Amino acid sequence: MLSKISFFLKKIYKLSGYIAAIFLIFIAIFILLGILSRLFGFYIRGLSEYSGYCMAASTFFALAFTFSEGGHIRITLFIERLNKRFRKIFEIWCLSLATIFSGYIAFYFIKMLIISYKFEERSEGADEILIWIPQSPLALGSTILFVCIFHHLLKCFYNND
């Protein structure tokens, strides 16, 4: 059963990587639109804010994919020097801390999203968009990161290396 869940979660991590790439494309489009609009003498409201929102969304969606692929900076130089027993204990300790911190971040992003939605907060930029709209990808991306790290923690417990 754990292998089926792992297979499904890996698909989600890969999908979040694709979503991050789409947000990067949006950043490029918004920047090019901003440049072209200045060249042709008209102004499109909120392009810089939208670029910032896309950058934050891209970052949080990419974190889970990168973590699942082993692309984050790890402390492998230190871990490789430990014997097998201490290595597993140290990995569990590190993943436990990462799970706690990522869960904390995801919880507060979701809480912030709910509050923004309830009070119909708007951005302070020129676009005055409802702020829960750009906060939604942050909450979703941080939640996927939390699930990814927790998934790796569980795999560390069930892995008999």
Could you give the CA distance from residue 112 to residue 108 in angstroms, rounded to a whole number? 6
What are the residues whose beta carbons fall under 8 Å from the beta carbon of 54, sequence distance 6 or more?
A: 23, 24, 26, 27, 30
Overall number of domains in the chain: 1
- pLDDT tens per residue across span 14-27: 999 999 999 999 99
Which parts of the chain register pLDDT below 70?
A: 1, 74-75, 160-161
Question: How many CB atoms within 10 Å of residue 66?
Answer: 17
Residue 25: CB atoms within 10 Å = 11
pTM surpassing 0.85?
A: yes
Which residue range is the domain that position 51 belongs to? 2-158
Q: How far apart are CA 37 and CA 51, in angstroms?
A: 15
